[in-house]
């Protein structure tokens, strides 16, 4: 279960960057289709692994860049795994509170706050990872990635 969540984190990070699941799946030694189940497809405009791979190839990453991106994602796994444990514990605590004979709102708020804090930390970690990957890219690759992301259904950035 932890592996699935970490895989989903890495896939989400990769998809958000338009880089695809290559680094995430290599880091976890899984086939391309694993980790895509369980809702990833719906959160990324229906993008499948093949589409993401074409997007990654379209950036023209060098072997050195691919290695750097792999390392960035691989290094993020332990911290994400730990955060996911905290999310699951808080979620289970909240479920237990909800199922109790007498509802304790203070405990429920405490568990909900713990879950929100863990999810928030995961979001920051994902953003940091995405930024680190972006720094590996050349200005031309960043521009191309932005264009690909802006033209992908469901992934448009806010213009304002």
Average pLDDT, the chain: 74
pTM, two decimals, is 0.61
Q: Which SS3 state, helix, strand or coil, does residue 44 take?
A: coil
How far is the C-alpha of 141 from the C-alpha of 58, rounded, in Å? 9
Task: Give the relative orientation of helices 2-17 and 63-99 as an angle to the nearest 10 degrees.
Answer: 130
Structure confidence by residue, pLDDT tens digits, 42-94: 333 334 445 555 666 788 899 999 899 899 999 999 999 999 999 999 999 99
Please identify which residue in the block is written with the tokens 């909240």: 94
Mean pLDDT of the region 3-18: 52
pLDDT at 150: 83
On whether the CB atoms of residues 33 and 51 are closer than 8 A, the answer is no
Selection from 82, 73, 76 nearest residue 25 by Cα: 73
């Amino acid at each position: 279960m932890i592996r699935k969540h970490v895989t989903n984190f890495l896939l989400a990070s990769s998809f958000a960057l338009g880089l695809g699941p290559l680094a995430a799946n290599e880091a976890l030694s899984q086939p391309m289709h694993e980790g895509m189940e369980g809702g990833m497809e719906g959160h990324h405009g229906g993008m499948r692994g093949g589409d993401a791979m074409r997007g990654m190839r379209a950036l023209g990453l060098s072997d050195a860049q691919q290695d750097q991106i792999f390392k960035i994602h691989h290094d993020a796994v332990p911290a994400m795994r730990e955060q996911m444990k905290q999310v699951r514990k808080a979620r289970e605590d909240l479920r237990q509170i909800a199922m109790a004979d007498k509802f304790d709102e203070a405990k429920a708020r405490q568990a909900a706050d713990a879950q929100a804090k863990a999810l928030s930390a995961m979001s920051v970690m994902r953003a940091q990872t995405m930024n680190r990957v972006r720094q590996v890219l050349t200005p031309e690759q960043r521009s191309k990635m932005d264009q690909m992301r802006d033209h992908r259904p469901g992934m448009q950035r806010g213009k304002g």
